Amino acid sequence: MAILSRSEARRILDKTLKYSRAKEASAQLTGGETGNIRFARNSVSTSGVVNNTELMVEARFGKKSGIATINEFSDDALEKVMRRAEELAKLSPDNPEAMPLLGEQKYTSVNGFAKATATITPDERAKAAADSIAAAKKKKVTAAGYLEDARTFAAVANTKGLFGYHASTSANFTVTMRTENGLGSGWAQSDVTDFAAMHAGTTSQTAVNKAVESQKARALEPGKYTVILEPSAASGLLAFMMGNYSARSADEGRSFMSKKGGGNRIGEKLFDKRVHIYSDPADTNVPAQPWANSDFMPQQRTDWIENGVVKNLTRSRYWASQTKAKAIPEPNNLIMIGGDKSTAELIKSTRRGILVTRTWYIRMVDPQSLLLTGLTRDGTFYVENGQVKYPIKNFRFNESPIIMLNNLEELGRPERVGMWGFSAMIPALKVRDFTFSSLSDAV
Amino acid sequence: MDRRKFLQLSGTGLGISMLPLSGKLVAETKLTHSGMDIAVKKELADTALNTATKLGASYADVRIGRYLNQYVITREMKVNNVVNTESIGMGVRVLAKGTWGFAATNDMTSDGIARATAQAVATAKASSKSQQEPVQLAPVKGHGEVQWKTPIKKNALALPLAEKVDLLMAVNKSALDAGANFINSMLFLVNEQKYFASTDGSYIDQDVHRLWAPFTVTAIDKKSGGFRTRNGLSQPVGRGFEYLDGRAADKLQSQTVLYRDSYDMVEDAHLAAKQAQQKLTAKSVKPGKYDLVLDPSHLWLTIHESVGHPLELDRVLGYEANYAGTSFATIDKWRSGKFQYGSDKVNLVADKLQPGSLGAVGYDDEGVKTTNWDLVKDGVLVNYQAIRDQVHMLEQKQSHGCCYADSWSSVQFQRMANVSLLPGKETLSVDNMIKDVEKGIYIVGDGSFSIDQQRYNFQFGGQLFYEIENGKITGMLEDVAYQSNTQEFWNSCSQVCDQSDYRLGGSFFDGKGQPSQVSAVSHGSSTTRFDGVNVINTKRKLG
């Protein structure tokens, strides 16, 4: 079963819900095809295609809820999955936080489906890998990379008249190039809706150049430096901030967004005034599913930070009901407004600083200050008087994105990056006093 | 189901960042029946093996799997969710024209299996065109029809849901009664029913059980806006529900209660609540060099990241370069026979047999009988972790038996065995170890962790930190993390406590590969001392 049309999906969902003996029930149908090709040591290692469609059903008896899923679609199977959800609901204790199912909703119309990605062939996948390996061989470096492409749909319905349908495509390519002497490594990525806009050879060339140029790195003393974080490098830190952007944690006093004495910091200016971050499912650069997976709440344009001021935090319907505030679902994309400058132009205006290609193994150290630790990787360079001077050894950083967004010097042009399962538009960030705490010997 | 979907189901992102979830969710009553008859499995397996051979494969193996999971998710006195999943299907791997091909299907008919096998052979033949050199497979003698089962006393999946919910509610109440502001607790139960057959003449039926019972307690000081957490000290195990019996004989008294082969979750939640409140006012660490005394509940993660991963041969060779990274422990270092990975106190072993461990199985996922072997002997690097198509690169003849796939639908590849630090040979208790430390920190429980892509530079936090001054523990510390370089760190190892202190820790969801697969692995040690390690202070003030 490949991508189901709106009417085919609706037919299955309606039929499933008819089997319900529970007071309320909802159903979600997701599926499609994903393909991938993986290569390393300048040779393809694995390649495959997975087709799957899955039906998830939730049955409700008052505050009791049960969830079951299935990937068969005969009438018997549809009835069986509903019975299983009902059985589990009856076995489960009451969930005092259960909210009534939503009624009919109006979802934003989103165009996130591209033909070239929908019709991608194994040969095209193989060509992407071959182009990357060819770029590597030309400069005597070694390529390791991964391309994953998807054509998917999602449809939701419930016994209270809710229905939604969304089809989308995406492709993500990452590649690491390493010099044969083991002294240089470069990385680049491409994240697109339309496979026609993906050029694995060009992306690979960026990684090859970084690998070649990053050889014979010099060691700088750890300390506070001005950094230019390329969009991928910046996104690693921003993902942690947005992943912990919950009103409930803040109101409960266990978040960097908690206010001394109680409550949260909505309305406070916590960041540089140029910081503006929002989500919008209809954004043409990063189109996204127009409802939340958790409870099918509509996704709308939501400002998280505007002029450096905290505008909104995510809030479940349960927590909204407890705090008499508006429910806001977790976003399906992220857009940070940037400037017009390319990364090269950001370098030009830098007297002394460090250019970071990629950040790696980022983990929370202290949730109170959102202090994170992680490392630079695959292309770190010293910049002086507007020019890249020489490659430097990688650093470990210990820094909070809150402090980072206060120490903003300049914003670059936003680029699309893959970020924790969704896509985001993130600019390169030039930031002063970024804290590097130790050196790493890793290449 | 992907991770994001699961997080939405669970209503919390707590401690389950690598959680995989695939397969059908099923009701409780479906979790206890025994699954497919073994004769049927053999017939289906033979269909795949015969088809592969007929189509020109020089080798084939087939895995018929039934994977059951149950997750119970709670916070305070509420059950947020109960999730049951079941996934059944078959994966076939073939070697044709010297190249691997893989296909998987949940169509468990003879036709479905023959079709998938043909697809695997076709993939192998197509991929052979870009193959640089043919796969060399270390020989394995067929085992005939054999069985293996995790030696459990109580099958956690077969117990009534109410018993599990009651336990978690008692745990949460214990923490709240002791002054915690919040507690999130969970149960993760896993059962892999795997049937493996290969053209070598093996028919291996295995029933593998694993369990994990984590929690996080939070204490809040509203006035200052500060908060602190303390995670549970349970370890994920290859045991049944009896692990949660909390037997007195398994308890070790230290600054908190430590647990050996069973765990008292209610008691630990009570202690965690008290300690989380204590952490709110604990002294902030002065950065500098300290001698570290690391409890096994902490050290397992440092072993995992700085020994387990860098000694995986696929990482060393570059197959993981684009994702997890490569390794500093290069082949030339191993070949020299002189690479001093650690001090002469350091003996690290890989072990797929250890009872109660997450990695214990009778046979790996390519039909190799499991074993144990040295990785670092008296401080010197002596071996890696490698599987059938890799060992020839080490001029070795036998696979180490650490091949694994996380589902019938995933292709098997080299994964970490249980990697552990052997206890010290001389009698040494934790108290006696601490007595000799002038300026040090005793660390219990795992915390924040980060390491570079070649496994040189790392930083680790923990759950509980105690200052040691002139041989005595003088009080609790906070804001502690230590940074070091793998080789420097293991060479600073000066003492290892004896066998009586030996305990296992582990990771339930260790991720590797693209597309990513998870595996579960244990790491044992006794309390160990490392001298002069760099400690940083992690406190920051926001405006």
Which member of B224, B449, B540 has the closest CB to residue A369?
B540
Q: What is the mean pLDDT of chain A?
A: 95
Kindly list the averaged pLDDT for each block of 10 residues, start to end, along chain B of length 543: 34 30 44 73 97 98 93 92 83 93 88 92 83 90 97 95 94 98 97 98 98 98 91 98 98 97 98 98 98 98 98 96 96 98 98 98 98 98 97 96 95 96 98 98 97 97 98 98 98 98 97 92 98 97 77
A277 min Cα distance to partner chain B (Å): 20
Q: How far is CA A118 from CA A35, A96, A193, A199, B1, in A?
A: 11, 43, 10, 17, 22
Which member of A260, A365, A374 has the closest CB to residue B224?
A260
**Nearest to residue A48, comparing CAs of B145, B411, B230, B300?**
B411
A-to-B residue pairs, Cβ atoms closer than 8 angstroms: 224
Q: How far is CA B322 from CA A42, A101, A186, B306, B332, in A?
A: 12, 43, 10, 19, 22
Average of per-residue pLDDT across A285-290: 97
Average of per-residue pLDDT across A385-400: 98
CA A116 – CA A124 distance, rounded (Å):
10
pLDDT value of residue A33: 87
Give the bridge partners for B68, in sequence order. Answer: B86, B191
B472-478/B283-284 β-pairing: parallel
Q: Suggest the residue from B449, B450, B479, B486 to mutate for an interface test with chain A (most A CBs closer than 10 A).
A: B450
Average of per-residue pLDDT across A350-362: 97
CA A376 – CA B128 distance, rounded (Å):
37
Read off the pLDDT band of A42 (50, 70, 90).
very high
Q: Which CATH number fits domain B3-280: 3.90.580.10, 3.30.2290.10, 3.30.420.40, 1.20.1440.130?
A: 3.30.2290.10
E strand or H helix at B524: strand B517-525
Instruction: Mark yes or no for CB contact B27/A87 under 8 Å.
Output: yes
Compare all CA atoms of chain B with the CA of A147 and give the residue at the minimum distance.
B514
Task: Please check whether residue B319 is in contact with residue A44, taking contact to mean a CB–CB distance below 8 angstroms.
Answer: no
pLDDT value of residue B358: 98
Q: In this model, does residue A96 exceed pLDDT 60?
A: yes
Domain A6-211, architecture per CATH:
2-Layer Sandwich (3.30)
pLDDT value of residue B9: 36
Strand order through the sheet with A163-179: A64-70, A43-61, A24-40, A141-158, A163-179, A185-192
> pLDDT tens digits for A246-287?
999 999 999 999 999 899 999 999 999 999 999 999 999 999
**Nearest to residue A418, comparing CAs of A194, A232, A141, A241?**
A232
CA A155 – CA A157 distance, rounded (Å):
7
Strand order through the sheet with A334-336: A309-310, A302-306, A277-279, A334-336, A422-426, A415-419
Give me the interface pTM, i.e. the ipTM: 0.93
pTM, 2 dp: 0.94
Poorest-pLDDT segment among A66-75, A107-116, A300-309, A337-346: A66-75
CA B434 – CA B436 distance, rounded (Å):
5
Instruction: Mark yes or no for CB contact A293/B8 under 8 Å.
Output: yes
pLDDT value of residue A66: 86
Coil, strand or helix at A327:
coil
CA A190 – CA A196 distance, rounded (Å):
12
Give span(s): CATH 3.30.2290.10, chain A. 6-211
pLDDT value of residue A1: 53
User: Which residue is associated with the tokens 């219990």?
Assistant: B444
Read off the pLDDT band of A420 (50, 70, 90).
confident
Number of H helices and E strands in chain B, helices first, is: 10, 27
**Nearest to residue A314, comparing CAs of A331, A304, A295, A328?**
A328
Compare all CA atoms of chain A with the CA of B459 and give the residue at the minimum distance.
A373
pLDDT value of residue A256: 95
Q: How far is CA A360 from CA A42, A232, A370, in A?
A: 23, 10, 17
Structure tokens at B254: 């230290």
Poorest-pLDDT segment among A71-85, A179-193, A385-399, B211-225: A71-85
Interface of B with A in 507-526 (CB under 8 A): 514-515
Q: Suggest the residue from A375, A405, A407 to mutate for an interface test with chain B (most B CBs closer than 10 A).
A: A375
Q: Give burial (CB, 10 Å; 0-12/13-18/19+) of A303.
A: middle
> What is the 3-class SS of A206-274, one letter each residue?
HHHHHHHHCCCCECCCCEEEEEEECHHHHHHHHHHHHHCCEHHHHHCCCCCCECCCCCECCCCECCCCC
Q: Suggest the residue from A368, A377, A397 to mutate for an interface test with chain B (most B CBs closer than 10 A).
A: A368
Q: B33 in contact with A at a CB cutoff of 8 Å? A: no
Task: Please check whether residue B490 is in contact with residue B251, taking contact to mean a CB–CB distance below 8 angstroms.
Answer: no
Domain ranges of chain B: 3-280, 283-537
Compare all CA atoms of chain B with the CA of A66 and give the residue at the minimum distance.
B82
E strand or H helix at A352: strand A352-366
Q: B332 in contact with A at a CB cutoff of 8 Å? A: no
Q: How far is CA B20 from CA A295, B284, B407, in A?
A: 21, 37, 11
Helix ranges, A308-439 (H): 317-323, 343-348, 401-404
Tell me which chain B residues have a C-beta less than 8 angstroms from the C-beta of A375.
450, 452-453, 457
> pLDDT tens digits for A140-155?
999 999 999 999 999 9
Q: B54 in contact with A at a CB cutoff of 8 Å? A: no
Q: B223 in contact with A at a CB cutoff of 8 Å? A: yes
Tell me which chain A residues have a C-beta less than 8 angstroms from the C-beta of B86.
none
- Other Cβ atoms less than 10 A from the Cβ of B109: the count is 11
Tell me which chain B residues have a C-beta less than 8 angstroms from the C-beta of A364.
448
Read off the pLDDT band of A52 (50, 70, 90).
confident
